[in-house]
């Protein structure tokens, strides 16, 4: 129902700014690379590659003493297909163009004709596609049918993000509401598709929803309290410039909710499965016993998952932390900056939701599986019923042996009396 009410029908159009990701790009190929003296390049007034620059510490004398490259690039797509242009690559640039290399070029129609195209990146489609194929094969080989269902659920999740969440936010819908609806849709599709329609899956779904609600409430509270704007880098600044109606702090909260969903699914499904397996191993165990046993498993899960989440965010922000280390800033100054404060709030709010999902999901699973055991027509299992039944022949043999033993004992007793 939320998807139907908030469905955007596509992202709103806008005029390209030519800045950052909002540039027209085409595919191209480096057809020729020629080495030449950097002194001659500087004398002729040629310019280096558009998206890379020389190191700040290098001097003009150091550049002149090195060997530069003149690369000829051919545009392979678009209206100017077949057009060529040249760029100068300085020796200290991080990206060195090679002949035959596939690249991405930016196009700026308002620039002079000889400066309309510039290399912006390398074309990585082939290695990325090969890696995706290896991942899919590994998932299918190990997971078999469930692996196939997991890949289908992953594709549907990307579709929900691409066709609902992002366009709805761009059209001005409340990012928090969009994130909750989109995350719920992804969760319902992924969990039921991968694990089937069952009470076990429904418990995991309910535990995930409760935890997502807690994350949303805490995230909203602390984003407002800490005065986080969500506009902290060039990309968010560009988004705010193109679509001023977007609530950037709400966008930050939406990112926290969606980012926590994947780990929440793992925790809730694992805890529910653990309680169900404990019940299968000992059907006589009550819901309190199931909860205590399940929560002991959950404590180990909490320790590993929280550590994983913190390290994942720290790894993503490692270049930023390195800059603070170079500046010799104190821990308090680093934590107080909005860039780092956003990651701290994101990590801690998500971790609180993960921690809370363990007892919530475990209690729900224990209650549901206990109610299923003691429902109408399902009497509690007693000790004699729990004992495995012996074959009829074995029972007869045991009875005969027992009767014989009794007769022998009776005969011995009569002889002792006589």
Q: Hey, where are the domains in the chain? A: 24-49+66-123, 165-373
Low-confidence ranges of the chain (pLDDT < 50): 50-64, 374-418
pLDDT for residue 142: 92
pLDDT for residue 340: 78
Question: For 97, phi and psi rounded to 5 degrees?
Answer: -75, 140
pLDDT for residue 130: 96
pLDDT for residue 20: 58
Average of per-residue pLDDT values in the chain: 77
What pTM value is reported for the model?
A: 0.68
Q: What is the pLDDT of residues 266-321, one digit of tens each?
A: 889 889 999 999 998 888 888 888 999 999 988 887 877 777 777 777 777 777 77
pLDDT for residue 65: 52
pLDDT for residue 10: 64
165-373 fold: Multidrug efflux transporter AcrB transmembrane fold (1.20.1640)
Q: What is the pLDDT of residues 251-273, one digit of tens each?
A: 888 888 888 887 888 889 889 99
pLDDT for residue 378: 44
Instruction: Report domain 24-49+66-123's class.
Output: mainly beta
């Amino acid at each position: 129902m939320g998807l139907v009410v908030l469905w955007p029908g596509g992202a709103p159009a806008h005029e390209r700014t030519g800045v950052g990701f909002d540039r027209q790009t085409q595919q191209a190929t480096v057809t020729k690379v020629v080495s030449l003296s950097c002194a001659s390049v500087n004398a002729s007034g040629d310019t280096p590659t558009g998206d890379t620059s020389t190191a700040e510490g290098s001097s003009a004398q150091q550049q002149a003493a090195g060997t530069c490259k003149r690369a000829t690039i051919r545009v392979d797509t678009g209206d100017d297909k077949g057009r060529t242009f040249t760029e100068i690559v300085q020796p200290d640039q991080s990206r060195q163009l090679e002949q035959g290399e596939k690249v991405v070029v930016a196009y700026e129609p308002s620039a002079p004709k000889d400066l309309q195209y510039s290399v912006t990146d390398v074309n990585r489609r082939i290695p990325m596609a090969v890696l995706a194929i290896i991942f899919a094969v590994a998932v299918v080989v190990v997971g078999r049918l469930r692996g196939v269902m997991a890949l289908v659920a992953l594709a549907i999740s990307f579709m929900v993000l691409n066709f609902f969440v992002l366009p709805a936010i761009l059209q001005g819908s409340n990012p928090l509401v969009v994130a909750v609806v989109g995350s719920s849709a992804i969760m319902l599709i992924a969990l039921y598709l991968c694990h089937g329609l069952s009470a076990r899956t429904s418990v995991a779904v309910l535990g995930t929803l409760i935890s997502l609600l807690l994350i949303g409430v805490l995230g909203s509270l602390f984003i407002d309290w800490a005065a986080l704007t969500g506009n902290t880098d060039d990309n968010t600044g560009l988004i705010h410039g193109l679509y001023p109606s977007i609530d950037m702090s709400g966008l930050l909260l939406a990112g926290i909710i969606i980012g926590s969903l994947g780990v929440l699914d793992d925790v809730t499904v694992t805890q529910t499965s653990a309680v169900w397996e404990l019940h299968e191993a000992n059907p006589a165990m009550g819901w309190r016993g199931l909860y205590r046993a399940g929560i002991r498993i959950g404590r180990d899960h909490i320790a590993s998952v929280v550590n994983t989440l913190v390290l994942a965010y720290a790894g993503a922000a490692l270049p930023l932390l390195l800059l603070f280390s170079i500046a010799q800033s104190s821990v308090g100054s680093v934590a107080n900056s909005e860039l780092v404060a956003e990651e701290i709030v994101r990590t801690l709010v998500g971790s609180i939701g993960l921690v809370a999902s363990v007892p919530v999901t475990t209690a729900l699973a224990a209650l549901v599986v206990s109610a299923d055991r003691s429902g109408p027509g399902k009497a509690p299992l007693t000790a004699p019923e729990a004992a495995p039944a012996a074959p009829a022949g074995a029972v007869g043999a045991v009875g005969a042996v027992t009767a014989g033993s009794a007769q022998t004992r009776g005969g011995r007793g009569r002889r002792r009396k006589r």
